[in-house]
Structure 1
């Protein structure tokens, strides 16, 4: 039986109400949480039971900077702690979801252009430290590289490790590092014409998140990573990478329909279902996949071919280097948003 509600003569909250709704809520008479914070790479808002995280560098294709994983992890934790939130939706503002790492910073300027948060100065995240560690004429320390890249992966993995369901809404493009983010979401819903893939496996990159085989299975993951080819959102749904795909003009409406259905569920039921199902992913070894993939991502940037690509990007610009990389595959014209 209910306690305070019964004593006061009030009826207990209906089963479908939120943790904070109803007269017998544990949060009754408690203030709303105050998480106000400005982010440099995204925006956050709560809309009823839905938390909306939106990447907000549209002029750069929402490309990843050193701020991105820290901003994302904070915003996800903010939603996870807020008892009013049932589901978290991640999307991108502008022409696409996320075009990967900002190679204006990381390749063309040899990491030195990466403007990290002030508190990373003098740490393994210091962009100057990583520029020195990526000097083809210098000595590469793989553990500096791993310490740096693993922080990106941990930030993106907050979508999977959050207690509450996460949904990634993809449109336009989810390329390279953008897939490291999207593949950590519990559900992917996308536009039919979304471009999804990891072209950097052709040179200078292995998906550090290590999620492709877990989401697609062995053969289909290898089909994409052995070639660097991309698939459409429609094919992603057919292959099981996305749970739904719709014409671009219907994506917003269809996404809202999905997240509203999820949000109707009691938040504790959602948490139990997610944690139970995540136990299967954990048994598959997602943590080990991320560790191994992050190490190999570092190695891929320090091979003879990797150094050649980095040098070419620094001298001719990353767009020209990407064009030359993708010319043999006939898809460089579609790679303009990849970073």
Structure 2
């Protein structure tokens, strides 16, 4: 009896067979395997898409380009029928040190961006004017800017295919807004993970901490600004696995290989099913509220003083002063928000 499924009879393949949807893409050009963006690179490696933050000299700090670059690269992987899983990592000493305070605090919102932002809410002059002590502050101008970053970062969560975040060195402040949107986090034992800006001038705008750690453990970190090690992150359930730094590449590849063995349709269905529970918890609401409070935190008396201190003495000095009383005043990256 003839079958419409190519020339192979149904049931003739081994139960574990894996291949792209038969015939759908036959004769069509393959998507590009590589791309370079202002803040990151993209590369297809077999069934794995590798997105790598590429500002190592600045601790892979976040700029106005980062959310657009990340969302575009994630979509590239999502639409490529050869890709089963995406891994996001960082070049240099760490994953991501947060927003580039050399732009957002020390220099008074002076942009380093490939985007045309003049006359928009991203215009550094507009944001600086909206951040002058004594002037009237428009919180929705602030919200329009920060919610844009969240939309780009949340592409990790809302992508159809699974996304793994590979952390090493440091993943702090705004860097955690990115990583906590990933479906799986794997990290080196000595990775520094946390949100110290809750001590002054910041609330995690993504609002993902309670969803990933539960109420008490999230509060333990955000009520103090303390950080976890990668090993503690795995023990607390924030990371799926941690390992010695020298084994991180090997362990990450093992995880990616196992995920990539699954059919794409199964991966998508499993992620959508599990995301439905996470979204029902109120992720979107948490993000909205947290983004509003993040803006407020930068317009308190203490927040203004921190920014002015950063502009006068440099952000490294201001961060050191902020953290000294907590016993962790040493800065380890170019940014910390």
TM-score tier (shorter): over 0.9
SS at match of 1:297: helix
Q: Which residue of 2 aligns with 1:322?
A: 319
Q: Which residue of 1 aligns with 2:6?
A: 5
The one of 251, 260, 265 aligned to 2:262 = 265
SS at match of 1:185: coil
How far apart in 1 are the matches of 2:180 and 2:310?
27
SS at match of 2:36: coil
Q: Equivalences for 1:204-223 in 2 at 5 Å? A: 204-223=201-220
Q: Is the 8 A contact 1:319 1:336 kept in 2?
A: no
CA RMSD in angstroms, aligned pairs only: 1.9
SS at match of 2:318: helix
Q: Equivalences for 1:268-283 in 2 at 5 Å? A: 268-283=265-280
Q: Equivalences for 1:55-134 in 2 at 5 Å? A: 55-111=53-109, 113-134=110-131
How far apart in 2 are the matches of 1:2 and 1:304?
73
How far apart in 2 are the matches of 1:8 and 1:2?
7
Q: Is the 8 A contact 2:70 2:153 kept in 1?
A: yes
Change in Cα spacing, 1:183 to 1:307, as seen in structure 2 (3 Å) is same
Change in Cα spacing, 1:82 to 1:314, as seen in structure 2 (3 Å) is same
Change in Cα spacing, 1:173 to 1:337, as seen in structure 2 (3 Å) is farther
Deviation at 1:26, TM superposition (A): 1.3
How far apart in 1 are the matches of 2:194 and 2:264?
33
Change in Cα spacing, 1:336 to 1:323, as seen in structure 2 (3 Å) is farther
How far apart in 2 are the matches of 1:120 and 1:298?
20
Q: Deviations over 1:39-90 (max 9, x none)?
A: 0100000001000000000000000000001100000000001011000000
Change in Cα spacing, 1:2 to 1:19, as seen in structure 2 (3 Å) is farther
How far apart in 2 are the matches of 1:250 and 1:167?
16
TM-score scaled by length of structure 2: 0.95
The one of 23, 26, 40 aligned to 1:25 = 23
Deviation at 1:132, TM superposition (A): 1.2
Change in Cα spacing, 1:130 to 1:257, as seen in structure 2 (3 Å) is same
Q: Is the 8 A contact 1:116 1:126 kept in 2?
A: no
Q: Which residue of 2 aligns with 1:142?
A: 139
Change in Cα spacing, 1:285 to 1:74, as seen in structure 2 (3 Å) is same
Q: Which residue of 2 aligns with 1:40?
A: 38
Deviation at 1:188, TM superposition (A): 0.1
Which portions of structure 1, spanning 4 or more consecutive aligned residues, are displaced by more than 6 angstroms? 11-14
Deviation at 1:121, TM superposition (A): 2.0
**How many residue pairs were aligned?**
334
Greater helix content: 1
Q: Is the 8 A contact 1:6 1:12 kept in 2?
A: no
TM-score scaled by length of structure 1: 0.94
Deviation at 1:338, TM superposition (A): 4.3
Q: Deviations over 1:156-200 (max 9, x none)?
A: 000000000000000000000000000000000000000000000
SS at match of 1:6: coil
Q: Is the 8 A contact 1:15 1:266 kept in 2?
A: no
The one of 226, 239, 259 aligned to 1:242 = 239
Bigger mean CA deviation after superposition, 166-175 or 328-337: 328-337
Q: Which residue of 2 aligns with 1:254?
A: 251
Deviation at 1:110, TM superposition (A): 1.4
Runs of 5+ in structure 1 lacking a partner?
none
